[in-house]
Chains A and B, each alone.
Chain A
């Protein structure tokens, strides 16, 4: 876009140069304590003769002195345009409150930049370099001593980083809210700024009218309360007060000839050398500083901790509790050097901080060394692991079958791929990707349906250390878009539907197509290469060195059934450990015939040395898998192991009537099958087992963050059902204030129940962390039988961290033993005396009654034993600690509308539940997650039930 004449020619309205002294803000602005406001005159010698300029700033220094606490350091907060120090009000207050309550004491100084807020209006233009210098003169005047952590928003980000570069002796860390330090060459200036920068608009939009200010204030999610908007507007009433806003916009250094371009380049380049801890709290829904700029910042500060607040935007500090997040981060860093600040927790993973986003970039290796077979496995040998491409190298001259696609894209007979061919294809694709500029640490989003193409591309990416981003189509287009945008892939490799979506929804990254399209279509879809072209490019198979075990391998997205889908980051070593766990648990190894009907595990077939077959099915719709397709796949590859999803398994059982005698004979050869992804009922597993009479039937317990944590067989399930009465039948209601609760007529003891998911797999350790009266998992990690608590797991194959979700990642960690990673699953359950794990529900679904905490799955199972009940959800309503229990049921004969259960049903449910129920509601259909159609969001259902039971209209849940 043409930005018009050179920016130095911007002319602002005459009013913009109106001088005015600094003043204190009016009292009573919402959320801001006037006691923090002070005016500070600063003598500047920069222009040759000394001039005094007065700043307004928020400063809790005096308050900390009154409290008698010595600050551990100072946080220097710098606002952007067109805001003022008001935006830091919550942080100043929160930091002061923390100090008053005995926490770490941080002095917070939040400035109004000159010409802005309540600071002096000198009428002078202040380009970026001068603003950085101004800030330095202020901190000199204040006599600021270290350690100092900077905190910037919007253009305050650049200015605060400029100050940071100039004060290395004081600097202890940098924190940023949505900001930018560099305009990527290949990207347009954000549209709102483009508009504001037009010379015809600039003066009118920023100074003469409050349009720019109003546009910014409209970016909050949810919208700002009127009183808060008024507070933001307060120092900018009238054109004479808004000169700084216009000057700020005019100082945006585009094009490159701009007077501030050099200073911005100094800052954006200089921060690459910053080694202090960095934090970025980001609102992705920002039309100005989008994820693109976060990406750029992370490229410069690869060690930064990042949290993207899904749903928050440019005014991230108004949208989320950024103050608590920043204070938590400061506390974790243990920045203060002096020992008097004792009690500061030592970071669990100090060197390899968990929430950082792209450590992979930091150690991208130079290519050219150690080519050839096996040689790249040096670091792997030390780790005692096979890399994922081990068998692709070992079997590169084997004509044995590696893969069969029962229904290859485009139709036709099953496609059979030998190890020789697969190995060559992978090398050629890997080399081609490398030639195309795909580098180690680049992110590659794969939008290819399972089959030979996906397998080859996946292993090619893995081999060159490109990070594969895998999101399930089951997330739905919206969830998928959010996931792909959030993961910021550098490249997208896809089949037509994926590329169409990528184009239509403006997903980032270079596009590579599986198939060839007509030239016009290729252009329309912005496709830079096809797989065939990659293979041609990579025909000499010259490969860059392979990744090491500690390098990042993949970002897998969670199902989104428990909140927005989260990206889960695995290293190569961790993925190799997943494949080892599959080998150890199910004996899938070199030469095993594997029916790959469950994507995450199926993709590991080549890593295990197994022959895998993709059955004829629409993988995005597991219910399309028939018994005959499974039998055909088994026959094609002499499979002894079958992996399926629960939905697929259900349809296989439903369609079993169509099996021929030959089909039955094939299935009789299966030695092991498993259903993974969600719990499976005993009757379904038993029905499937009858189709594969020689097979042991398994169902594993795991999650995207830890794919194989426990396992149970059909026999194990039956054994568990028979022994369900557990250690202590009263533990479902872990009694609090027992003298009060125990003799209540409503306090009927009941066993915790749950779904038995078996014993921990070989390399997995499982503990529970007991729940307190408020339903929080605060107990020590314990192996004691019968302790209901949050399930916490540790294994070599547990994920590394959540992608750009530092707070989430921090919350998911337990235990401080160095070298051990404990992952909080968010599930609640208990271990029994036989070492088996029972899952009793999700942590947020724990009900806190006056008699104690209660987990939902056990009572649900008991209620589902009532003949008329098809499915039940047990939820809590009312305030935590005194909640009432409500059962919501789906009946066998579906109800036509929402209603109270009739007296007979209510009585039967109450009798079966074994605990006091306030109400029994009947609904036509319980809302479930998209992917598994089995997980019920009990939190939402509880809110709905709470509304109805306090007199709201009988809407559907």
Chain B
């Protein structure tokens, strides 16, 4: 199969491109920077430019779409342009180019209105109630993708939750960096259960969705390790792996949400410098439970995570030791 992977210069995109290539498929990647993945062909460009997108999908049997604006803050218009506009144009070009499979990589936050998630399966994406510009635009894009599902273009949405592992510049690196600076607070009592996804498992699940697209198209699947842990234990595990002290100071969850809102507002005045240290979205993510029912995902995608949480921590520690 000839497969286009978008956003392959990112942490997850790289792993997905490598996984699919390793399975024997011919992989072309499409993003603004080189992917650095051996054995694949990089095409540099942006999904927001239709002509470039057309070029990217030309001759492809399948598209795995990861390219997105993922940061926790930023201008709403940018999120819409990349996440909604980019998906729309890629779907149109893929249809025109005669591709038969389209895996849309989404996020569980598309169906999350802020309350705890305790063992639920993938609820429908809900742009109106999703929190923050990232989740709202991803929700809109997922609805677009699933609406484009047809007998000719078989669309699957997968939602990996909190992907982490060696080389992760988003979640792990930021946590470790802040912990090292003594700026990582623990929200509430830290006992809220959070399910995460080790990078290799996220990549293999996306590859499985691509393989099973004929059988499972039109559906959304949440992807996790299926091993929820208290958030304090997860943060401590990541910090221990990196050799930095685990978070010690506690911020009541309510206070943190308020503070997050204030900081978000202050950041809006001078955008672009850095990301704010605490957003309301992040505060909610870290003080309420998020764990999922993985039975349908595992049965229908014929997939199980190969790397356990503990093994993941060992591999993370090894990566810091090098």
Contacts and interface: CB of A to CB of B under 8 A. Distances in A.
A951 B287 contact: yes
B116 interface: yes
Given A883-B119, A884-B228, A919-B191, A850 B236 contact: no
A740 interface: yes
A742 B289 CA distance: 26
A823 B200 CA distance: 51
A900 interface: yes
Interface string B174-212: 000000000000001111110000000000000000000
Contact of A878 (B190, B291, B299): B291
A950 interface: yes
A850 B304 CA distance: 12
Interface stretch (A14-22, A479-487, A564-572, A743-751): A743-751
Name the residue in B116, B193, B293 with the highest tally of chain A Cβ atoms < 10 Å from its Cβ. B193
Contact of B233 (A741, A877, A878, A906): A906
Contacts of A883: 119
Interface in B288-310: 288-289, 291, 293-295, 298-299, 304-308
Contact of A918 (B193, B253, B288, B308): B193
A948 interface: yes
A883 B226 CA distance: 11
Contacts of B189: 899-900, 948, 953-954
A235 interface: no
Contact of A745 (B193, B288, B289, B307): B307
B118 interface: yes
B193 to A, nearest CB: 5
B232 A900 contact: yes
B228 A918 contact: yes
A916 interface: yes
A293 to B, nearest CB: 45
A323 B51 CA distance: 66
A746 B227 contact: yes
A882 B293 contact: yes
B118 A946 contact: yes
Name the residue in A883, A906, A950 with the highest tally of chain B Cβ atoms < 10 Å from its Cβ. A950
B311 interface: yes
A281 to B, nearest CB: 35
A950 B295 contact: no
Contacts of B230: 900, 918-919, 949
10 contacts: A740-B299, A744-B304, A850-B226, A850-B293, A881-B295, A903-B240, A921-B191, A949-B192, A950-B193, A954-B189
Contacts of B228: 884, 918
Interface residues on B, range: 35 or more
A916 B225 CA distance: 12
B319 interface: no
Given A950-B118, A954-B191, 7 more contacts: A878-B118, A878-B291, A882-B294, A884-B193, A884-B228, A918-B227, A919-B193
A870 to B, nearest CB: 21
Interface in A818-853: 850
Interface string A721-757: 0000000000000000100110111100000000000
Contact of A746 (B118, B226, B287): B226
B304 A740 contact: yes
Name the residue in B227, B306, B307 with the highest tally of chain A Cβ atoms < 10 Å from its Cβ. B227
Nearest to A850: B295
Contact of B116 (A744, A906, A951, A954): A951
Main secondary structure of the interface of A (DSSP, over half): loop
Contacts of A951: 116, 188, 191-192, 253, 287-289
Nearest to B226: A746
A368 interface: no
B229 interface: yes
B170 interface: no
Contacts of B229: 918-919
Contacts of A921: 191
Contacts of B226: 744, 746, 850
Interface in A842-884: 850, 877-879, 881-884
B24 to A, nearest CB: 22
B274 to A, nearest CB: 28
Contact of A740 (B191, B232, B298, B306): B298
A948 B233 CA distance: 15
A746 B119 contact: no
* Shortest Cβ-Cβ A-B pairs, 7 listed: A745-B308, A878-B119, A950-B289, A950-B116, A882-B293, A879-B119, A951-B192
A953 B188 CA distance: 8
A949 B304 contact: no
A954 B186 CA distance: 15
Interface string A934-957: 000000000000101111011000
A949 B233 contact: no
Interface string A875-899: 0011101111000000000000001
Contacts of A882: 119, 293-295
Interface string A281-315: 00000000000000000000000000000000000
Given A850-B294, A884-B193, A954-B191, A737 B299 contact: yes
A953 B226 CA distance: 25
Contacts of A949: 191-193, 230, 289
B258 to A, nearest CB: 16
A645 B1 CA distance: 73
Contact of B305 (A741, A745, A850, A899): A745
Contacts of B192: 949-951
Interface string B112-128: 00001011100000000
Name the residue in B226, B233, B253, B306 with the highest tally of chain A Cβ atoms < 10 Å from its Cβ. B226
Name the residue in A737, A884, A949 with the highest tally of chain B Cβ atoms < 10 Å from its Cβ. A949
A903 to B, nearest CB: 6
Contacts of A744: 226, 298, 304-305
Contacts of A953: 189
Contacts of B295: 737, 740, 850, 881-882
Name the residue in A745, A850, A881 with the highest tally of chain B Cβ atoms < 10 Å from its Cβ. A745
Contacts of B118: 877-879, 946, 950
B233 A745 contact: no
Contacts of A899: 189
Given A745-B308, A918-B193, A900 B293 contact: no
A949 B190 CA distance: 9
A743 B193 contact: no
A349 to B, nearest CB: 41
A737 B306 CA distance: 18
A526 B230 CA distance: 60
Contacts of B288: 950-951
B232 A745 contact: no
Interface string A16-45: 000000000000000000000000000000
A919 B228 CA distance: 8
Interface in B228-278: 228-230, 232-233, 236, 240, 253
A881 B295 CA distance: 9
A95 to B, nearest CB: 33
B200 to A, nearest CB: 11
A38 to B, nearest CB: 41
B185 to A, nearest CB: 15
Interface in A898-918: 899-900, 903, 906, 916, 918
Contacts of B120: 879
Interface in A735-794: 737, 740-741, 743-746
Nearest to B253: A951
Nearest to A916: B227
A343 B105 CA distance: 51
A899 B233 CA distance: 12
Contacts of A740: 295, 298-299, 304
A951 B291 CA distance: 12
